[in-house]
Chain A
Amino acid sequence: MKYVVSILLILSLATLSFGFTFTDIVDNFWGRAIFGGYFAFMAYQILAPNPVVFEIPLGNTIAGMNAGPFIVVNSNVTDKYKDIYVGHEYEHLCQHAVFGMWGHGPFVMFEAARQHLTGNDWYLDNWFEVLARRVGDWSEDGSLEVKFIPILTIEGD
């Protein structure tokens, strides 16, 4: 996600600094590949019955993560919990889909800052995380139809 934001920031600065139009940025091979790929993958993740999930070893502290249209689950997590984490990350993907590429991050950060300033936990009490944990729980009780189906698995320790 940081890389995508960095690339977009550089592109935007290039536009400002060198007078490129957005047509110059998007209307070429790499622009079509990056932005077209992003929109096509987002469309697939939303319209397909189950999202594409990458299963990668992420150590002992991170269970899963979402970056734009990508959902990653830690391959070290036991199968019992994988549906829960996919449900959790799918909620973040849906938040991203509604707010847009740039919209989601600032809202999450503002909410984290608000929770921190009011004495709450910036992560656990964050509204976006509260919703995601609730959706993860639906996976556990079987009320969420989105299931863990890995497309790429890299086994960890």
Chain B
Amino acid sequence: MKKLLLTAIVLSLCATFFGFSFTELVEHPLGKTIVGGYYTLMAYQVISPYPLVIRYPTTRCSGINWGPFIVVDSEASYSSQLNTVAHEREHLYQNAVCSTIIFTIFYTLESVKQWCIGHDYYMDNWFERLAYDIQWRYANGKVINYFTVSLEF
């Protein structure tokens, strides 16, 4: 997510300082691949009932969402992976509805707000609470028939 935001900022700064138009940025083969690929993958993730999930062996966190990508720890138990996918897919939908840049800004502002009023910047973050709410529903069997397509590394 941070990298995507950084890319958008760098592209915008390039456009500003070097006089590139956004058409030049997007019509460039690399720009077309990144931006076109982002929208194609987001469309797939939103429309398909079988979201694409990358399973990666990591002990640093149970899962992560970055734009249209959902990554889960392949070494966690299967039920834990399902719950994590539900959590990260909620972030993906937040990303889809709010748009990447605005979601990142809102998420950061919400973290700062919670931290400033003495709450936990992560656990009390509204976006995280919604994601944990969905994760809790999966854990309690309120949402069923969830499938994943996995890429093993």
Does A99 sit within 8 A of B, measured CB to CB? yes
Please give me the residue from chain A that is nearest to B7 by CB atom: A98
The answer to whether B90 touches A98 (Cβ under 8 A) is no
Q: CB distance B21 to A91 under 8 Å? A: yes
A111 to B12, CA, bound (A): 14
Residues of A with C-beta under 8 A to B96: 22, 26, 35, 39
Query: Do B47 and A40 have beta carbons less than 8 Å apart?
Result: yes
B129, chain A: closest CB distance, angstroms: 9
How far does the alpha carbon of A97 sit from the alpha carbon of B133 in the complex, in Å?
Answer: 31
B22 to chain A, nearest CB (A): 4
B90 contacts which chain A residues (CB < 8 A)?
Answer: 21-23
- CA–CA, A27 and B90, complex, Å: 10
Q: For residue A8, which residues in chain B have a CB less than 8 angstroms away from its CB?
A: 97
Contact of B22 among A12, A23, A27, A131 (CB under 8 A): A131
Interface of A is mostly: helix
In the docked arrangement, what's the CA distance between A145 and B16, Å? 23
Q: Which residues of B contact A27 (CB under 8 A)?
A: 93
Interface of B is mostly: helix
Interface contact tally, CB-CB below 8 A: 119
In the complex, B98 has a CB within 8 A of chain A = yes
> Which residue of chain A lies nearest to B133 when distances are taken between CB atoms in the complex?
A21
A100/B46 contact (C-beta < 8 A), A21-B134, A46-B36 known? no
User: How many B residues have CB within 8 A of the partner chain?
Assistant: 36
Residue in A12, A22, A99, A144 whose CB lies within 8 Å of B23: A144
Closest to A20 in B: B130
Task: Decide: A23 and B46 in contact? CB cutoff 8 A.
Answer: no
In the complex, per-residue mask of A39-64: 1 if CB is within 8 Å of any chain B CB, else 0: 11011001100000000000000000
Q: Which of B23-58 contact A (CB under 8 A)?
A: 23, 25-27, 32, 35-36, 39-40, 42-43, 46-47
Distance, CA A94 to CA B23, complexed state (A): 6
Residues of A within 8 A of B (CB): 8, 11-12, 15, 21-23, 25-27, 31-32, 35-36, 39-40, 42-43, 46-47, 87, 90-91, 94-95, 97-103, 127, 131-132, 134-135, 144-146
Q: A12-B97, A21-B133, A26-B96 are in contact. List 17 more A-B contacts (CB 8 A).
A: A11-B97, A22-B97, A25-B93, A32-B46, A35-B97, A36-B43, A39-B39, A39-B96, A43-B42, A46-B26, A100-B101, A101-B99, A102-B102, A127-B16, A135-B21, A135-B23, A146-B27
